Amino acid sequence: MKKAEEMRNMTQDELVSMLKTLASETLTMRFSRTTAQLDNTAQLRKNRRAYARALTILHQRKRGKDKQTASAPADSPKKEI
């Protein structure tokens, strides 16, 4: 599975393609787990998390909140009490 930083460097089309792939793999794994044919059950969890990570990045880009495209916030002056 790719890390978030690697996913942020992917294009929009690559992320959408990855989402489709992860969704189909997850479905296949769920059926395999149900029929007791899945050897590595931890892979199912990794797929779900990678799917959520990719979906989060797509939503951030859609809203313009992707950390790589957004500039760093300026330091605000602190109030003294």
Distance CA 80, CA 58 (A): 40
- pLDDT, one tens digit per residue, over 39-61 is 888 889 999 999 999 999 999 99
Residue 48's contacts (CB-CB under 8 Å, 6 or more residues apart) are 26
Cα 67 vs. chain centroid, distance in angstroms? 14
Distance CA 56, CA 72 (A): 20
Domain carrying residue 26: 4-63
- Structural domain count of the chain: 1
11 in a structural domain: yes
CATH, residue 13: 1.10.287.310
79 in a structural domain: no
70 in a structural domain: no
pTM of the model: 0.71
58 in a structural domain: yes
Low-confidence residues of the chain: pLDDT under 70: 1-2, 66-81
